[in-house]
A and B are shown apart, each in its own frame.
Chain A
């Protein structure tokens, strides 16, 4: 073997210095190594490969397969500065597409009043008679002035509560006034009402249909689960909800009605029944959500408290069941898996605010409470309802747009909202697929920065991402199913 400037020789192994590293993270993965680059490309390689890559003992003649994979998947490059640098920059920009525009999701709380007493309620609702917790018209005007200062060409105004239908007149006022801000069809405005549907009548339904409003409701599963979690008068929560779901689907269209479930301690044993319930009602997706540690969810610890391991066990069983259902020729999606899979299998970002870096707080979502207070996420509002206003950004009746969105509190949050800069996350192989959640960190660990070794957010996401990668690697047919999910 000839000596040259390009490589040194010792023994029989040539050390090639003819490639440069591109940024990537790695971790041990089931007796192999998982490597993931800045753009979300991944490879699963033999143990010891990273060491060989770094120490340049990879032999491009004898290790041609892995060498070619590393080049083509942008882990190494033949040049000092890669000739496809512009492509890489574009890919990175695409991954951070959420930064193209500012806040798109605006959650408006027309009232804190509610007619249910869900055991995991994150909001700590008030009695349905207490109108002092309704938003007033002056506050709505100021909220709309703030919302439409966003440069996002696509705005979603989502009504949450309490139970928003208790203040339907306020919803109508928001929808009506919003039209004044639209010029030449921009911005595109979507309205969503998050409601338990119990108060929905024909007049409301007609209005919702005429104004193309989407409905999002809660369905925790079959009657035995739903009624246990969501307490309504005379135990009719499930019956009323299902009747109204069917009615809404008929009047508005199947794709205009969605449902969300929350996993309580009681739900853990009913993963099959919960999925079957969603299928029977014609839904094509389910979002298997773990309980959030806010509001009544914290107060009702006995019903709501379960470990991350318990939730992951539930999640894996449910996901396996869903995959099995898809393998029979059906189409049914688990939404959280789809969100993560879109980061693994596509070059794009997605709009899920709870798993972004920089975090979805402020960048993607803002919450306007009934009293005009503005928060960077719904979870931050829930903390406020529990007496902790730490994340208050400002008030629409007092502060202007720049004070609210670019003020000192926003800047403080910005210091901790990128997982690229957080201890534990900075070296994590799953960094590109994950996100940062300063509000969750503060709520569970009393510190926006967070402590990854004991973070339930970190543990849960790692376990789910790992499981999804295992599934992709285990069976090409499952990978095809996952690709069909992210393609839609």
Chain B
């Protein structure tokens, strides 16, 4: 399922419908953290989607092409980062524990 993007108010507000099966809420929040400097963000849920409503703090309109490319890339990046974090959690804990245990 793909992300649905809808613009309103002369492209000053954007609504993203992000399928829950594609991206978890945690991934979305970590991704959107970096957008908080420039956008007011509201996060909601429906049965199948996490819904993100964004409005530019400078009351600017969205450059639709560049915005869509960027947010899709960012969500994918954070999704990959989550996979890395999940897969490496145990080995990371082991390395750190061993690192500091050696000098007890």
Contacts and interface: CB of A to CB of B under 8 A. Distances in A.
Interface in A32-56: 38, 50-51, 54
Interface of A: 20-28, 38, 50-51, 54, 81-82, 85-86, 88-90, 92-93, 96, 100, 423-424, 427, 451-454
B80 A38 contact: no
Interface in B60-104: 73, 76-78, 80-81, 83-84, 87-88, 91-92, 94-96, 98-100, 102-103
25 contacts: A20-B87, A21-B84, A21-B87, A21-B88, A21-B91, A23-B88, A23-B91, A24-B88, A50-B80, A51-B80, A81-B91, A85-B94, A86-B98, A89-B96, A89-B98, A89-B102, A92-B96, A93-B100, A424-B34, A427-B81, A451-B37, A453-B33, A453-B36, A453-B38, A454-B37
Given A24-B88, A93-B100, A452-B34, 16 more contacts: A21-B84, A23-B84, A23-B92, A23-B95, A25-B81, A26-B81, A38-B95, A50-B80, A51-B80, A85-B94, A86-B98, A88-B95, A89-B95, A89-B96, A93-B103, A453-B35
B30 interface: yes
Interface string B2-20: 0000000000000000000
Contacts of B88: 21-24
Contacts of B100: 93
B91 A90 contact: no
Contacts of B91: 20-23, 81-82
A427 B30 contact: yes
Interface residues of B, number: 27
Q: What are the 3 tightest A-B residue pairs by CB atom distance, in nearest-first order?
A: A453-B37, A89-B98, A93-B99
Contact of B95 (A20, A26, A92, A451): A92
B102 A93 contact: yes
Contacts of A23: 84, 88, 91-92, 95
Contacts of B103: 93, 100
Contacts of B34: 424, 452-453
A391 to B, nearest CB: 26
Contacts of A423: 30, 33
Contacts of A100: 103
A33 to B, nearest CB: 9
Contacts of B98: 85-86, 89
Interface of B: 30, 33-38, 73, 76-78, 80-81, 83-84, 87-88, 91-92, 94-96, 98-100, 102-103
B73 to A, nearest CB: 8
A225 B98 CA distance: 52
A54 B76 CA distance: 12
A96 B100 CA distance: 10
Nearest to B78: A427
Contacts of A81: 91, 94
A352 to B, nearest CB: 21
Nearest to B29: A423
A293 to B, nearest CB: 18
Contact of A424 (B33, B80, B92): B33
Contacts of B36: 451, 453
Contacts of A451: 36-37
Contacts of B73: 28
B33 A54 contact: no
Report which residue of B84, B94, B98 has the largest number of chain A beta carbons within 10 angstroms of its beta carbon: B84
Contacts of B35: 453
Contacts of B102: 89-90, 93
Contacts of A88: 95
A24 B94 CA distance: 15
Nearest to B35: A453
A22 B33 CA distance: 25
Contacts of A454: 37
A20 B80 CA distance: 15
A24 B34 CA distance: 20
Nearest to B82: A427
Given A23-B88, A424-B34, A453-B33, A92 B99 contact: yes
